[in-house]
Structure 1
Amino acid sequence: MRRLLNTIYITDEEMYLALDGENIVCKLENEIKLRVPFDNIEGIVCMNYVGCSPALMGKCVSKMIPINFISPQGRFLAKVCGETKGNVFLRVQQLDCFRENGLTLTQNTMAAKFSNTRQLIKRTLHDNPELREDNEIAKILDVLYDGIEKVYDTEQIESVVGIEGNCAQSYFSIFNKLITNKDVPFTFNYRNKRPPLDPVNALLSFVYTLETTEYGAALETVGLDSYIGFCHTLRSGRKSLACDLVEEARCIVERFCLSLLNLKIVGEEDFEKQISGAVYLNEDGRKKVLAKWQEKKRTDIQHPYLKQKIPFGLLPYIQSNLLAKYVRGDIEAYPPYLQK
Structure 2
Amino acid sequence: MTELLNTLYVQTPGASLHLDGDTVRIALPEPDSPRRTLPLLRLESIVVLGNVNVSGPLLARCAQDGRAVVWMSRGGRFLCRLAGPLRGNVLLRHAQHLAHADPATRLPIARACVAGKIQNSRQLVLRSARDATTAKDSLRAIAADLEASLAAAGTAADIEVLMGVEGAAARAYFEALALMIRKDTGLSFPGRIKRPPTDPVNALLSFLYGLVRSSVHGACEQVGLDPYVGFLHGIRPGKPALALDLMEEFRPAVADRLALTLINRRQVGPGDFETMEGGAVQLTEEGRKTVLTAWQHNRQKERPHAVLGRRVALGLLPSVQARLMARTLRQELPGYLPWTA
| TM-score normalised by L of structure 2 | 0.76
How far is 1:174 from its partner? 2.5
TM-superposed CA distance for 1:189, in Å, is 1.5
Match of 2:328 in 1: 326
Counterpart CA distance in 2 for 1:332 and 1:68 is: 31
Distance in 2, matches of 1:10 and 1:152, equals 34
- Structure 2 matches for 1:129-278, cutoff 5 A? 129-132=133-136, 134=137, 136-180=138-182, 182-251=183-252, 252-278=254-280
- What is the aligned partner in structure 2 of residue 42 from structure 1? none
Match of 1:289 in 2: 291
Figure out how many residues of one structure are paired with residues of the other and give that number. Answer: 281
User: What is the distance in 2 between the residues matched to 1:243 and 1:269?
Assistant: 31
State the partner residue of 1:110.
Answer: 114
* 2:160 partner SS: helix
Gaps of 5+ in 1: 15-47, 53-65
Does the C-alpha gap of structure 1 residues 12 and 198 become closer, same or farther in structure 2, counting only changes over 3 Å? closer
In structure 2, how many angstroms separate the alpha carbons of the residues matched to 1:297 and 1:232?
A: 26
**AA paired with 2:41?**
G
Residue 31 (structure 2) aligns with: none
Q: Give the Å deviation of 1:167.
A: 1.1
What are the Cα deviations for residues 237-286 of structure 1, in whole angstroms up to 9, with x where unaligned? 22111110011111121111000000111111211112211111121111
What does residue 101 of structure 2 align with? 99
Q: Which residue of 2 aligns with 1:313?
A: 315
Instruction: Output one character per residue of 1:143-195: Cα deviation in whole Å (capped at 9) or x when no partner.
Output: 11111111233211011011111111111123121012x32111112111001
Aligned residues: percent identity? 36
CA RMSD of aligned residues (A): 2.5
Q: How far is 1:11 from its partner?
A: 2.5
TM-score by length of 1: 0.76
**Structure 2 gap ranges (5+):** 9-37, 43-63, 73-79
Aligned mates of 1:265, 1:214 — CA distance in 2? 24
